[in-house]
């Protein structure tokens, strides 16, 4: 999934840097990813640690992490995927509000794919309410639908806008494919809460923080994934069909530092790592000042190419060089 701020390309840098501070053997440690997004960081640490705690306030993120992180034993339901892929599409909520030929004229999906998303989402809910599938399988299927739908979305990258014409990748017939998760002996925990509130109730060894860096609200950029995940009834608002969404204080210049101080203060973790970059609302000096007040502070940096959406059909992304900061705190507990 194309995701703003994804740490997929920084996974090696993060693992190496964290091990240099904490030690090579992480097998008895609890690792918390408090702003988990698609769960990429937690997925990388899942086989290395005793337990992963993953959290995100966005519901689509909760679904993904409930599958990729909390699911840890095999789920064999190949026949369910075959059944879903052979269903005839229906004109449901997604088709009517977000698709080609729908009543609202929004072009997030082709007509065929919108109908397919509706029928698959409805069938997954039927299986859940009739106890045909258990909770783990439910999130496995929901995560698989979110990932599969995202592959055929008619957007440049995020769901803050749709393209004026259906691009080639969005014309492809959607097939729901398994969102494969890692198998581990240990159990893991996933939450769907405000990070600053959850931090008061959990504890562990390594706390990884990757909050929003700027004014972009993830709730508006990925609203349609939450709508598919919840499949609830509401009146979509405006040209893009927005739903009501959570507004993070980490996206507000006059609130972010205060929220960050409270988070570090309440964190019951010895090792705290914050990913941030040179375009963030908080400066390097502000972050170092806050973290230094709670223990031993250090900093690692790396240059990398990230991608910005480019609203043309032929060039969906353009590379932009940025500097990623990894702020490190060994907290005095």
HEC assignment per residue over 40-100? HHHHHHCCCCCEEEEECCCHHHHHHHHHHHHCCCCCCCHHHHHHHHCCCCCCCHHHHHHEC
Measured CA to CA, the distance from residue 48 to residue 30 in angstroms comes to: 10
Give the three-class secondary structure for 275. strand
Provide the domain count of the chain. Answer: 1
Which domain range does residue 302 map to?
A: 9-72+181-212+248-333
- Is 303 a member of any domain? yes
d(CA 273, CA 328): 5
Q: How far apart are CA 11 and CA 318, in angstroms?
A: 21
Q: State the first-to-last Cα distance of the chain, in angstroms, to the nearest integer.
A: 38
What is the C-alpha to C-alpha distance for residues 151 and 219, in angstroms, rounded to an integer? 19
Whether residue 236 lies inside any domain: the answer is: no
Give the pair of three-digit tokens for residue 228: 């598919």
CATH of the domain at 29: 3.40.50.150
148: three-class secondary structure by DSSP: helix
Q: Considering the domain boundaries, does residue 86 fall inside one? A: no
Q: 66 CB contacts (<8 Å, ≥6 apart)? A: 139, 143, 190
Question: Residue 320: its pLDDT value, please?
Answer: 63
Count how many residues are written for the chain.
333
Helix axes 223-230, 135-151, angle to 10 degrees: 140
In tens digits, the chain (333 residues) has pLDDT values of 878 778 888 899 999 999 999 999 999 999 999 999 999 999 999 999 999 999 999 999 999 999 999 999 999 999 999 999 999 999 999 999 999 999 999 999 999 999 999 999 999 999 999 999 999 999 999 999 999 999 999 999 899 999 999 999 999 999 999 999 999 999 999 999 999 999 999 999 999 999 999 998 999 999 999 999 999 999 999 999 999 999 999 999 999 999 999 999 999 999 999 999 888 999 999 999 999 999 999 999 998 766 555 444 444 444 567 888 999 999 998
Question: Do the beta carbons of residue 266 and residue 294 sit within 8 Å?
Answer: no
In a domain, 94, yes or no: no
The answer to whether residue 88 sits within a structural domain is no
- Residue 317's pLDDT is 45
Domain membership of residue 298 (yes or no) is: yes
Within a domain: 259: yes
Q: Are strands 317-331 and 189-191 parallel, antiparallel or unpaired?
A: unpaired
DSSP string of 216-247, one letter each residue? --HHHHTHHHHHHHH------BTTTTB-----
Strands (E) located in the chain:
30-33, 51-55, 189-191, 206-209, 271-277, 295-309, 317-331
Is 66 domain-assigned?
yes
């Amino acid at each position: 999934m194309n995701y703003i701020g994804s740490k997929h390309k920084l996974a090696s840098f993060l693992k190496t840097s964290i091990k240099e501070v904490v030690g090579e053997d992480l097998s008895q440690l609890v690792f918390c990813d408090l702003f988990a997004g698609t769960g990429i960081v937690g997925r990388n640490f899942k086989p290395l640690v005793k337990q992963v705690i993953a959290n995100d306030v966005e519901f689509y993120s909760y679904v993904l992490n409930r599958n990729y992180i909390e699911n840890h034993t095999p789920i064999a339901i190949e026949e369910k995927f075959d059944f879903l892929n052979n269903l005839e599409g229906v004109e449901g909520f997604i088709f009517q509000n977000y698709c080609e030929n729908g009543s609202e004229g929004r072009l997030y999906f082709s007509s065929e794919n919108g109908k397919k998303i509706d029928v698959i989402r409805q069938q997954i809910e039927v299986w859940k309410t009739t106890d045909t599938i258990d909770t783990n399988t439910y999130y496995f299927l929901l995560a698989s639908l979110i990932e599969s739908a995202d592959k055929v979305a008619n957007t440049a990258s995020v769901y803050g806008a749709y393209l004026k014409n259906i691009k080639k990748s969005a014309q492809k017939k959607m097939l729901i494919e398994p969102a494969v998760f890692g198998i581990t002996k240990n159990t893991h925990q996933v939450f769907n809460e405000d990070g600053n509130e959850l931090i008061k109730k959990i504890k562990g060894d390594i706390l990884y923080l990757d909050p929003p860096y700027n004014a972009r609200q993830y709730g508006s950029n990925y609203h349609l994934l939450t709508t598919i995940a919840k499949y609830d009834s509401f009146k979509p608002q405006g040209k893009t069909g927005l739903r009501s969404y959570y507004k993070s204080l980490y996206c507000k210049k006059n609130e972010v530092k205060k929220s960050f101080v409270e988070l570090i203060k309440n964190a019951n973790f010895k090792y705290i790592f914050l990913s941030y970059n040179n375009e963030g609302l908080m400066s390097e000096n502000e972050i170092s000042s806050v973290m230094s007040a709670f223990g031993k502070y250090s900093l690692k940096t790396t240059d990398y190419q990230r991608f910005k959406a480019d609203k043309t059909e032929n060039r969906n992304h353009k590379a932009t060089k940025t500097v990623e900061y990894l702020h490190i705190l060994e907290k005095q507990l």
